Amino acid sequence: MNKGTDRTPLTREFFDRPVLDVAPDLLGRILVRSTDEGRIELRLTEVEAYAGEVDPGSHAFRGRTPRNSVMFGPPGHSYVYFTYGMWHCLNLVCGPEGMASGVLLRAGEIGVGAEMARKRRFSARHDRELAKGPARLATALDVDRALDGSDVIAGPKAALSVLRGTPPPRDQVRSGPRTGVGGDGSHQPWRFWIDGDPTVSPYRAHAPRRRST
DNA sequence: GGCGGGATGATCT
DNA sequence: GATCATCCCGCCA
């Protein structure tokens, strides 16, 4: 990790903005996960924006449910969901409150605590694959539903927090369609990543699963 | 390295 | 009962 990285936690105001402002601005920030075993730090390299109840790709599209209720609460909190029967994904809720918008954290580079991440991600061949993909990121950082609703601006001692880090130059930020989102939500360029970064997950077009016969 | 397909279960209609 | 913001393995090149 760069010397001179800004280790100040992000503020509530940072998250209390429209999701399309917050999402690209999260690139290069440092996500800190603290557990009994130690600390893992990850530099965010890929994210996706989900624009609340107006976005067909969003869990909040059909309104508030017990699972997604955190998305409707104050910005600066984590929303963790369980999917495909096996995996967790980590999101950060953005403002304004009640909009139910969030940013899916899709990939990052582990700078501190790689040993712990390797233990949890034993099948990864290279360190750049430890958090390449949203479920891998959550697995590497030991994130599950127990962390749903965590306040991420409480400082680096909290279970989950985000520090200012070092955002990339504007011309290194790319955007494109979101991964795995079909239907009306598929054409918005709401996926953001750092150009050329080896930890960015490969794009896969949305492919409807075959009907079982 | 690039694919096809199976695994697996909470959630919501 | 369909959907799901996925990953990994095995196979082929």
Task: Kindly report, residue by residue over A148-159, the tens digit of the pLDDT.
Answer: 999 999 887 899
Nucleotides of B under 7 A from a protein CB: 5, 7-13
A62: CB within 7 A of chain C nucleic strand: no
Cα A187 from chain centre? 20
Does the pLDDT value for residue A204 go beyond 60?
A: no
Tens-digit pLDDT profile for residues A80-136: 999 988 899 999 999 999 999 999 999 999 999 999 999 999 889 889 999 999 999
Q: Is residue A211 part of a domain?
A: no
Domain residues for A93?
6-194
Q: What is the DSSP letter of A71?
A: G
Would A42 be classed as within a structural domain?
Answer: yes
The answer to whether residue A157 sits within a structural domain is: yes
Q: Where in A5-52 does DSSP place strands (E)?
A: 6-9, 30-35, 38-50
Q: Report how far apart, in Å, the C-alpha atoms of A102 and of each of A57, A78, A99, A120 are.
A: 11, 9, 9, 26
Nucleotides of strand C under 7 angstroms from a protein beta carbon: 2-9
**Total structural domains within chain A:** 1
| Run of H or E including A101 | strand A101-112
Distance of A196 CA from B1 C1′ (whole Å): 18
Dihedral pair phi/psi, residue A50, rounded to 5°: -130, 115
**Which domain CATH number covers A68?**
3.10.300.10
Nearest nucleotide to A178 (CA to C1') is C5
Residues in chain A: 213
Nucleic strand C near CB of residue A43 (< 7 Å): no
Q: Is residue A39 assigned to a domain?
A: yes
Nearest protein residue by Cα to C1' of nucleotide C9: A123
Is the residue at A46 inside a domain?
yes
3-state secondary structure A111-145: EECHHHHHHHCCCCCCHHHCCECHHHHHHHCCCCH
Asked whether residue A123's C-beta has any atom of DNA/RNA strand C within 7 A, the reply is yes
How would residue A209 be classed by pLDDT, with cut points 50, 70 and 90? very low
* A102 domain residue, yes or no: yes
